[in-house]
Structure 1
Amino acid sequence: MSTTELAPGANLAALRKERGWSQAYLARKASVSVSLLSKIEVGDRALTPAVAAALSKPLGLTMAEVLGKAAVARDSGEHLAALRSAVRDYDLPAQHEVHGDRIATALETARRFRDDVQLTQLLAILPKLLRDATTLAHSANTVEAWAGLSDVYSIVYWIAARHRWMDMADLAVTRQRWAVEQRANPLGAAMAARDRAGAYLNGGDFEGGLTIVDRAITAAQSSLSGQDRAFAVGVLNLRGMTLAGRLRDKAEGKREAERHVASAAAAAEWFDRDWNRHMIFGPQNTATHVLATRLDLGKPHEALSAAEDIDTVLDGLPPTRVASTRINMARAQLDVGDRDGALENLTLAWGVAPQMARIHPMGREVFRVVSSLHRRSNPELLRLSKLSGITL
């Protein structure tokens, strides 16, 4: 039942009914109110990541599975199977020669597809790129070759996490860490830890993810210097504030989040504009994460205040960041009762990254709630309904 045909709240209802559970039973097991669960299932309230994490435990699922796995495009099934096979064959390099310059070019193309959220194109090139990078790493056995392989696994993790394929995401971060440990690479180790903490995030284990982040920050501070250290520490703090914002204890979440916000802001002072090296970090991406964290902490007005100059903040950031931020703004506007504003930002998200908007769980969930609450005919609702596959 967990496919992109169902938005998260509707997917939750389907999962509960499959088990033959009443709303009262699930609510009691998850320690949430029956009223909230009912509103989520009928589309009057959005299913947030924190609530999804609480509900996932009695269901025996990850948070990502409650939000709903996304299906690949109809003609991408073979590419997905090939990618799974390449991930399994991590220690089986090919016998033919590969050229480092061609792999570097292919890796740069993969990064561009990731940043532009060209999911179909990315999935098509990843299996060969992963096999070639594996072969080069084993044959060259250099820091650069193993770092390149680690970067490919980071992209594999990214596409798996976007679709909520958590088995592949978990395996990818394990392979990423293994690759970066073959030759000392402190910056690569920080990026691997960031992705590993992301797997904890998607699994709903926010406390465990914070432990990974804090340990990696300590390591980066001792092993790196200058802008490399600021970049690594900054990227890790962005992950830390996201994890903190989703802690169930919001008082603790606020304390942890503010610690990571302050540390990220200090690291961002090293940069005039955001760097895009493996990940994106700088003052702009820090601002988008602060917005999202305020929202996760249940402070939508604060989130919208942080977005007052959002066009400037988003200027120059890649579509993957722009679309997710527009979706977060839509969620915040929905929380404060601005349905038209929420629909406008969803439309902007669809415009900049349609492939992401279609599979983004919160984008789909906010649209479901907006369409449920709207009391008048709206051409934009009809258009997005057709694009998303969510019926009005």
Structure 2
Amino acid sequence: MQDVIAMSTEQKNDGVGARVAEERKLAGWTQARLASTANVSTSLVKAVEQGRAPASPAFISACGRALKVGVTALLEQPYPRTTRDEQLVHAGIPDIRRELAVYRIPPEDIPPRTLHELTGDVARASKMRHMVNLGELGELLPSLLHDLRVAWYSSSGTDQERIFGLLAETYAATSQAVYKLGYIDLASLAVDRYEWAAARSGDKLAVLAGDYQRAGEMIGVADWAGAERFLEESRKTIEPKIGKGDPATLAMWGNLHLKSGLAAARAGRRDTADAHLAEATETAARIGADRDDYRLCFGPTNVQIWSVGLAVEMLDGTEAVKRSVRVKLSAGTPRERAGHHYIDLARGFLLHGDRDGALSALQSARRIAPTQTRYHPMVHETVRALARQDARSTETVRGFAAWCGMGRR
């Protein structure tokens, strides 16, 4: 077990920090120049490169943009597959990639399935997504994308619009599934396909759900100001309807504010992030219940989850831990969201200086959504930081690192 992961600050930093340092040196830059270009502090660059601080998503995307290096390169995603179980989880990727490539190509001459059958399978795919059942989802998605392609070529009018709506929902599930496995570029392609299908569905809210995803892509490449402007324009299209109280419209309004809050938080604009969170909180209170319109969870529970995550993104672990007390997860909370909450909370505890709390939160994430937790880069960064900062409690941390496969890269 000693080979699984370094347990002291004297051993080699094999995480994001090491790869940032390598790319910085290849560019011929000093730490100060990288800090200035990426708009982060030199002390943070030093701490991350030396393994004394975990790399946050904002730090990774900002450094990637500054160094002109893809985020996947800094994260070394997708992670290597060295076990049979890992191979099975990734097995659907080649067929998914093929379906995303041929999305507009006329299918072979086979009878289309009924709209009822397709609707049931799309709902099943979305459920698998929320359950983070990535193995079975990867098996279902290629054939479902193919069948939906057959269906829209074989239909017209309102039936075709409904099929495009189902296709958009399936592309959303596809994007999330491949993203969680580390195929970020493939996830971006699925977002492109989502926007294409949503535009043909006749559903304006579905188009805005695409804007939500597009903004996520922009945030991921450190275009935070651009994402905020884009989301503001998106909200303007439904702002006149907010007073009518339609729950689906309100949920979309609230989600667009949450995404704006994320962009602001990563840009270090705390007041703006808090303002968007307040708007989302008020909107969730108006709805009064958790909803899943367009497979974008929204309601009081998800806003509470986001409140913790936004505090973490602003590197305020103490506030994140404080906010977590208000989070009440119900049996109906999707595992995807509940697992993500505990991943964020682990980062919050780490920032707060509570290493035991961080490891406990990681264990909760593992119980709820094991595959999501295993492949989440922020889990790896948190575990690596725990291992380096606390040599006295290495056995449990080492075991968690082994479960994540961190010693095999």
Task: Normalising by structure 1, report the TM-score.
Answer: 0.89
Q: Is the counterpart of residue 152 in structure 1 residue 170 in structure 2? A: yes
Equivalent residue for 2:332?
Answer: 316
Select 2:129's aligned residue among 114, 117, 121.
114
* Greater displacement, 313-322 / 277-286: 313-322
For residues 15-30 of structure 1, the aligned pairs below 5 Å read: 15-16=23-24, 23=31, 26-27=34-35, 29-30=37-38
Q: Is the counterpart of residue 204 in structure 1 residue 202 in structure 2? A: no
Equivalent residue for 1:82?
Answer: 95
Select 1:335's aligned residue among 340, 351, 355.
351
Shift of 1:356: 0.6
- What amino acid does structure 2 have at the position aligned with 1:228? A
Equivalent residue for 2:204?
Answer: 186
Counterpart-to-counterpart distance in 1, 2:271 and 2:289:
28
Q: Alignment partner of 1:270: what SS?
A: helix
Contact persistence 1:110–1:122 (CA under 8 A): yes
Contact persistence 1:186–1:223 (CA under 8 A): no
* Greater displacement, 334-343 / 224-233: 224-233
Counterpart-to-counterpart distance in 1, 2:368 and 2:76:
23
Q: Is the counterpart of residue 166 in structure 1 residue 184 in structure 2? A: yes
Equivalent residue for 1:258?
Answer: 274
* Greater displacement, 163-172 / 69-78: 69-78
Contact persistence 2:163–2:201 (CA under 8 A): no
Shift of 1:114: 0.9
Select 2:304's aligned residue among 266, 278, 287.
287
Task: Normalising by structure 2, report the TM-score.
Answer: 0.86
Q: What are the Cα deviations for residues 114-134 of structure 1, in whole angstroms up to 9, with x where unaligned?
A: 111112221121111111122
Contact persistence 2:238–2:253 (CA under 8 A): yes
Counterpart-to-counterpart distance in 2, 1:47 and 1:121:
31
Select 1:376's aligned residue among 384, 387, 392.
392
Contact persistence 1:9–1:365 (CA under 8 A): no
Equivalent residue for 1:56?
Answer: 64
Contact persistence 2:65–2:221 (CA under 8 A): no
Shift of 1:18: 6.2
Please report the RMSD computed on the Cα atoms of aligned residues, expressed in angstroms: 2.5
Equivalent residue for 2:248?
Answer: 228
Q: What are the Cα deviations for residues 107-148 of structure 1, in whole angstroms up to 9, with x where unaligned?
A: 122112111111222112111111112222232233311110
Counterpart-to-counterpart distance in 2, 1:78 and 1:357:
19
Aligned length: 383
- What amino acid does structure 1 have at the position aligned with 2:228? L
Q: Alignment partner of 2:235: what SS?
A: helix
Shift of 1:57: 1.9
Shift of 1:13: 4.2
Shift of 1:20: 7.0
Contact persistence 2:329–2:338 (CA under 8 A): no
Equivalent residue for 2:4?
Answer: none
Shift of 1:320: 0.9
Q: Alignment partner of 2:132: what SS?
A: coil
Counterpart-to-counterpart distance in 1, 2:56 and 2:400:
21
Equivalent residue for 1:3?
Answer: none
Contact persistence 1:68–1:361 (CA under 8 A): no
Select 2:140's aligned residue among 117, 125, 128.
125
Shift of 1:93: 3.9
**1:11–1:98: structure 2 CA closer, same or farther, 3 Å change rule?**
farther
Shift of 1:51: 1.5
Contact persistence 2:91–2:138 (CA under 8 A): no
Identity of aligned residues (%): 25
Please list every run of 5 or more consecutive structure 2 residues that lacks an aligned counterpart in the other structure: 1-13
Equivalent residue for 1:244?
Answer: 264
**1:329–1:76: structure 2 CA closer, same or farther, 3 Å change rule?**
closer
Equivalent residue for 1:301?
Answer: 318
Counterpart-to-counterpart distance in 2, 1:196 and 1:102:
29
Higher RCO (CA < 8 A, seq sep 6+): 2
**1:243–1:30: structure 2 CA closer, same or farther, 3 Å change rule?**
closer
- What amino acid does structure 1 have at the position aligned with 2:53? R
Contact persistence 1:113–1:121 (CA under 8 A): yes
Q: What are the Cα deviations for residues 195-250 of structure 1, in whole angstroms up to 9, with x where unaligned?
A: 11111122221122222221221113346751121111112122111111101xx3
Shift of 1:384: 0.4
Shift of 1:268: 0.6
* Greater displacement, 370-379 / 157-166: 157-166
Please list every run of 5 or more consecutive structure 1 residues that lacks an aligned counterpart in the other structure: 1-5
- What amino acid does structure 1 have at the position aligned with 2:181? H
Q: Is the counterpart of residue 354 in structure 1 residue 362 in structure 2? A: no
Counterpart-to-counterpart distance in 2, 1:203 and 1:54:
7
Shift of 1:266: 2.2
- What amino acid does structure 1 have at the position aligned with 2:386? V
**1:363–1:237: structure 2 CA closer, same or farther, 3 Å change rule?**
same
Contact persistence 1:230–1:267 (CA under 8 A): yes
